Amino acid sequence: MSTGFRFAPLEWSQDKAREVAQQESLALGEDHWELIRALQEFYGRHHAVAINMRELQDALEEKFHHKGGMKYLYTLLPGGPIAQGCRLAGVKAPAGATDRGFGSVA
């Protein structure tokens, strides 16, 4: 497992995240890695229960409040900080994060 990513899924690596980012035309900066760590930690701490999208949004809003919260995260990941962020973090997006008819909603 990569250093600094205590909660990373076993099959995840920073190289895999870079591959996903390249496929989605993203250049990963430190804030992207911070979001990836936050998502992995949230999932790691809630592994025994189904992930609630609202709780995850609230946790990200609180963690990134000083930078502008979810609004800021949408500037980092226009495909949706939760939907796109989960792909980068190697975790399954919670139900409701994407709408196949519309695209990412979170």
The total number of structural domains that make up the chain: 1
- Residue type (1 letter), 79: G
Domain carrying residue 29:
14-92
Share above pLDDT 90 across residues of the chain, in percent, rounded to a whole number: 74
In a domain, 99, yes or no: no
pTM > 0.75: yes or no: yes
In a domain, 97, yes or no: no
Q: What is the pLDDT of residues 8-46, one digit of tens each?
A: 999 999 999 999 999 999 999 999 999 999 999 999 998
Judge whether 102 lies within some domain: no
Task: Inform me whether the pLDDT recorded for 101 exceeds 60.
Answer: no
Three-state DSSP class for 99? Answer: strand
List all residues 6 or more positions away from 75 whose beta carbon is below 8 Å from its beta carbon: 68
Asked if the structure places residue 4 within a domain, the reply is no
Note whether residue 1 is domain-resident. Answer: no
Q: Element (H or E) spanning 59, and its range?
A: helix 53-63
Residue 57 has pLDDT above 50, yes or no: yes
